[in-house]
Each structure stands twice: as structure tokens, then as C-alpha cells.
Chains A and B, each alone.
Chain A
């Protein structure tokens, strides 16, 4: 396996502030965290609720910026990039699955999945439709292509969001509790898909999960406690 790091965090500090009346309360979510993830790694991030997993994933995807420290993706310091460059980078290299799926309500399942391909003219409409249909079929949604998000169950929406994250064949897939809304049978579909992607194409995957069984399917588990790296275990 190629262990050249594709994601690297160096002394990352993240604070979030909440306004309470006139005063500002600063919460330090991640005091100082460093680790790196190699190309082709399949990693799970675990930890109790509120420990900072989502925050960490946002930083890795360039959706948020650290207060100090640096985040690198594919050798580039994304924590120093402009918003426009970040958007372009995400379209080219990143697939992101939100904890709360976040689909676009006016578009059908198929159109939601096609969008990252069309946004920057990465593919024509015909090719995009073909690829999106394939992915949705792999995820067991071949009969829901033309449903709008509000005509899908929570688990189906989650699977559409996963298809959308994968449609660009991203270098890195970041997924925040991708099986959170799924029954064990459908969760199994996702495990299988992710494992297959990782094994067959060397897809780098970082996922956040509460599910010990799912975490056990991966190759490495980063356990977070109060924003600190509590343990880093390589499996197999």
C-alpha cells in the first residue's frame, strides 16, 4: 500500500464561539491535533457525541478553516486556500457525505447525484446521467431515480448523498456517519460498497461512525476524545 500521506493535519486548533447576549463564549473544540492519512487508506474516526468528529471532517474537506495549524490535501495546504480555489479543489478531489445528508430539495435523486459532474462541465449531461444511474443502482435505488428528496426515506436520502459524493470518482471520500439512518441490511450495502471501492480502486476513505461493527471493517481507527486523538489503531 502506498502510504504517502494524502491528508495531513499539523497542530490544528479549532475554536467555535457562541454568542450569549453581549458576551462571546469561545469553545475550544480541537485544542491541538496532528495526524496524517495515507493514500488508499480506509479509516474510521470514532468517539463520543460532541467530541469533535464532524468538526475534524469539515477541516479535512476544506469546508472550514482551523484557527491555527495547517491542513494539507494531496500536498496542498488547503487551510490557506481561497474559497473559490477550495470549491474547485473539492469538485476535483473530494466527495463529502454530511451527517444530515443535505440534498437539494428541488432536484430529483438522479439530478442531485449528477450535479457535481455538471457544475464545472466535468461531464456532459448524457455521461453524467449514465454514471449517476449506475451509482444509484449499486446503492439499491434504481426505482427512485426521479423522486425528489422529500419523496425519499431518511435512509434513501443518505444513500443518494453517498452516490453524490462518489460520482466524481474523488481522490478522497469523507463521510460523516453514512449509515446513521440505515437499517443493518442497507448499512451492509454501504460497508460492502466502501470496502470494494477501497480494495479494487484504492479509494481513500475517511468515515465517522458510532457503529463498532462498521469501524471494525476498516483498516484504521482514530478515536477522538474531547478533541484529542485518544488512540490510533491499525487493523489487519
Chain B
């Protein structure tokens, strides 16, 4: 048995080392196939994960909307420990109510006390027209408490000029998205004029600019202090339009969202619900990419199989000779199975390493996205997960093994003369 195995391995290795150039070519072929598979995986996974991480970077994971859920108002007052018992109730949103959360400080302290909550940031959303010299642009403005807002997303890290702190101590300060700043040609410490929905004009100082990576956000959004936004909207001091929340774990978002809604009586929305349109667009895009990955697999598989099958067919005569001297059918099959596996393993390993470096290389390349891009960035985002490598490697080995084994099995079962006489 061991002797037989060592015979099989001897013959297989000799076939491979005897035709060195062919062997190297096949390994390279399997390697390229595997490399392309890993790269395709990495790029496909990168698109959606880039979108998700950018959404998480700029927006709250849960937002308490200024809309009451019917039958829950009293819970706010009683804040009963059994509050979450009501989660199962199908909630109906009360229509025609003004979009506001009040008194927001109570809601904030209620949510702040929940375990698993990282940050709570009340805000007031408003809009208006911003003007610098002769240039003006309509924009969305979010009134925030900068120290609280900083913990929600990566606004702090996204600052291109100025700081969030400066907004805190500049009552009439404003942070502009980079795109918005460019459009009105305003820069750091320029004095801009903001016309609110109430028709009043406010003189504001640009205390910084930020780049979130989302074109639409950077072109249209600005931040001011909460108090100023309340004034513009005519809100009382204890009123905000909504509250943004950040949880410690991404996995807790859905659970905490329902819990907070039950606890406060306000409708809540998770980041996935809020960005459902964008995400579904990219999910759909991902399905297409998945089919492309499958296609690449099939093409790579055919390439690998093609070369290996050709090799075995060239060896048909040798199979017949070995069989006529008494080598068993099983051994013949094992010889070519082993050859296929050696080629698959070698090619798969080389492809995995090459794929890893190629993916890294591609994500390191500086790429500039056009101004119309939905998502902006300075490089292509890729993802590498162990199972990409596992799947690719297994695929390369299995396809190679089958391509070696299949034709050998067929040849080994023929009468030797059928091959030798042909």
C-alpha cells in the first residue's frame, strides 16, 4: 500500500519535473486564474463596504425622528422598566404633527442611560441660501452640539480646515462641505451670509470645511450651532428636530432602535433604513458583481481544466504503456489526480499571494473620482476576507484535481491497444 502510494507519487512528480516548462506554465495559469478571482472578490466586496463605512462615518446609526408613535407618549413620563414589552405592537405614526422632539434633554438623558449607547447628539435641521460675495447656493444646515456630534460620526476626522472646537466657541460659526465652499468660493474665516427659511439674514463665519466622501453631502451640507438653528427655525430651547445616536456595536443597532422607540414614544430609524435606497442600489450592483465573479470562476476553471486535460491527453500513450505492464487502473487515476492536485495547490498558493498583493496594489493606487461621483475618495476600496482565499484555493485545487483525474480515468479504462493503435 505504502509502496503503491510511493510509486504513484514518484511517477506524478517525474511527469511534472520532466516537463518543467509545461508545469510552470500550468501553475502560472492556475495562479493567474486564482489571482483574478481574489481580486474580483476584493473589488466586489470593496464597493459595498466602502459605501457602508462612509455612511457610518457621517450619519447616526439610529435617529430619533420628530414623529410620535401612537400610544407611546406616556411611556416617556413613566419610563417603565417594562417599556420594552410593548415592542411587538404594530405602531402607527401620528400624522400632521410638527417634526420635533420635545423636551429633548429628557429624551437625551433617557437614551444616554441605556447600555450599549456611545453617543447621543440632538440636532435641528434647517435649510436656506448661503452667499459669499456674489455667489450663492441653497444648502441643508444641521444645528448641532459639536462635542456631541463629534462622537456620532467622523466629522472631527473629516475636517479639511478648521476644527469642530472652533464651532463650539463661535456662536455664529459655520462648517461648510468642501464642495459647497468651493461653489461659493468661500474659505476659512470668510464672512458669509445665510438666509434662513424665516427670511432673516445671518452673518456667519466659516470656521472650517469638511469632506465626508459623499458628493451630495459635501456639495450641499453645512453645520452650525444648535442654538442658532433653533432660533432660525423658531424652536423653543427644549425642542430639536431629531436626535442622532451611535451604538457601541453595529450588531445592536436594530435591537436598540426598537427599544429606544418603545422607551421614548418617538419613531426611530436605523442607518440602513435611512439609506435604504442607496444601499439597495449598491446591493443590486453587488448581485451583478457576484455573477461576474461566478463568470470569472467559470472562465478560470475552463482555463485550468483545458491545460490539464491537454496534458493528460498527451500522456494517453504513457497511460496505455503503463497499463500494459500491469499498473492498476486505480494507480493510473491516482497519478493524474496527484498531478492535478500538485498543480492546483502550487497555482492556488501562488495565485493567493499574487492576488493579495495585487489587491493591495490596486487599493493603494491614487484614483481621483469625478465631482459627479456618488462616493468620493482618493483610492479604490477593496476587501480581503479569509473565505475569499479559502474558496478560491479550494476551487483551484478541485478543478485541477478533477481535470487531471477525469481524462486519466477514461484513458485508464480503455484497452491499451485502443490508445496505442490510434
CB distance from A7 to the nearest CB of B (A): 17
Q: Is A145 an interface residue (CB 8 A)?
A: no
Choose among A61, A65, A124 the residue that contacts B3 (Cβ–Cβ < 8 A): A124
Cβ–Cβ contact B14 & A107, under 8 A: yes
Question: How many angstroms from the CA of A89 to the CA of B326 in the assembled complex?
Answer: 7
Residues facing A in B407-422 (CB within 8 A) are 413-418, 420
Question: How many angstroms from the CA of A107 to the CA of B418 in the assembled complex?
Answer: 23
Choose among A65, A87, A94, A107 the residue that contacts B323 (Cβ–Cβ < 8 A): A87
Please choose the segment from B26-34, B115-123, B256-264, B314-322 that sits at the chain A interface, where 4 or more of its residues have CB less than 8 A away: B314-322
Report whether over half of chain B's contact residues are helix, strand or loop; otherwise say mixed.
helix
Choose among B317, B323, B331, B417 the residue that contacts A64 (Cβ–Cβ < 8 A): B417
What residues on B are CB-neighbors of A61 within 8 Å? Answer: 324
Cβ–Cβ contact B417 & A87, under 8 A: no
Residues facing B in A81-123 (CB within 8 A) are 83-84, 87-92, 94, 96, 98, 102-107, 111, 115-116, 118-121
Cβ–Cβ contact A119 & B325, under 8 A: yes
CB distance from B312 to the nearest CB of A (A): 14
Chain B minimum-CB-distance residue to A115: B325
Chain A minimum-CB-distance residue to B16: A106
Q: Is B129 an interface residue (CB 8 A)?
A: no
Question: How many angstroms from the CA of A65 to the CA of B416 in the assembled complex?
Answer: 11
Choose among A83, A98, A107 the residue that contacts B415 (Cβ–Cβ < 8 A): A83
Cβ–Cβ contact A63 & B417, under 8 A: yes
Cβ–Cβ contact B322 & A90, under 8 A: no
Q: Is B327 an interface residue (CB 8 A)?
A: yes
What residues on B are CB-neighbors of A106 within 8 Å? Answer: 14-15, 17-19
What residues on A are CB-neighbors of B7 within 8 Å? Answer: 118-119, 121
Q: Is B125 an interface residue (CB 8 A)?
A: no
CB distance from A167 to the nearest CB of B (A): 9
Cβ contacts A168-198/B at 8 Å (1 or 0 each): 1000000000000000000000000000000
* Also in contact, A120 and B328, with CB within 8 A (given A63-B416, A106-B18): yes
Residues facing A in B27-62 (CB within 8 A) are none
CB distance from A85 to the nearest CB of B (A): 10
Chain A minimum-CB-distance residue to B10: A118
What residues on B are CB-neighbors of A89 within 8 Å? Answer: 326
* Also in contact, A164 and B325, with CB within 8 A (given A65-B415, A102-B317, A106-B14): yes
Question: How many angstroms from the CA of A124 to the CA of B4 in the assembled complex?
Answer: 11
Q: Is A214 an interface residue (CB 8 A)?
A: no
CB distance from B332 to the nearest CB of A (A): 9
Choose among A65, A84, A91 the residue that contacts B325 (Cβ–Cβ < 8 A): A91
Q: Is B311 an interface residue (CB 8 A)?
A: no
CB distance from B328 to the nearest CB of A (A): 6
CB distance from A59 to the nearest CB of B (A): 9
Question: How many angstroms from the CA of A107 to the CA of B14 in the assembled complex?
Answer: 7
CB distance from A116 to the nearest CB of B (A): 5
What residues on B are CB-neighbors of A90 within 8 Å? Answer: 324-326
Residues facing A in B1-17 (CB within 8 A) are 1, 3-4, 7, 10, 14-15, 17
* Also in contact, A63 and B415, with CB within 8 A (given A106-B15, A121-B3): yes
What residues on B are CB-neighbors of A111 within 8 Å? Answer: 14
Question: How many angstroms from the CA of A94 to the CA of B419 in the assembled complex?
Answer: 20
What residues on B are CB-neighbors of A103 within 8 Å? Answer: 321
Choose among A83, A94, A104, A121 the residue that contacts B322 (Cβ–Cβ < 8 A): A104
Q: Is B329 an interface residue (CB 8 A)?
A: yes
Chain A minimum-CB-distance residue to B18: A106
Most buried by A among B1, B14, B326, B331: B326
Question: How many angstroms from the CA of A107 to the CA of B329 in the assembled complex?
Answer: 20
Cβ–Cβ contact A119 & B328, under 8 A: yes
Question: How many angstroms from the CA of A156 to the CA of B317 in the assembled complex?
Answer: 20
Cβ–Cβ contact B331 & A119, under 8 A: yes
What residues on B are CB-neighbors of A83 within 8 Å? Answer: 323, 329, 413-415
* Also in contact, A64 and B415, with CB within 8 A (given A87-B327, A118-B7): yes
Cβ–Cβ contact B4 & A120, under 8 A: yes
Question: How many angstroms from the CA of A128 to the CA of B106 in the assembled complex?
Answer: 92
Question: How many angstroms from the CA of A116 to the CA of B223 in the assembled complex?
Answer: 85
**Besides the known contacts A83-B415, A87-B328, A120-B328, 5 further A-B residue pairs in the complex with CB atoms under 8 A apart:** A61-B324, A102-B317, A106-B15, A124-B3, A168-B326
List 28 A-B residue pairs with CB atoms under 8 Å apart, sorted by A's residue number.
A61-B324, A63-B417, A64-B417, A64-B418, A83-B414, A84-B329, A87-B323, A87-B329, A90-B326, A91-B326, A94-B326, A96-B325, A102-B317, A105-B318, A106-B17, A106-B18, A106-B19, A115-B327, A116-B325, A116-B326, A119-B328, A119-B331, A120-B326, A120-B328, A121-B1, A121-B3, A121-B7, A164-B325
The 9 tightest CB contacts between A and B, nearest first, are: A91-B326, A106-B18, A121-B3, A64-B417, A119-B327, A90-B326, A116-B325, A63-B417, A63-B416
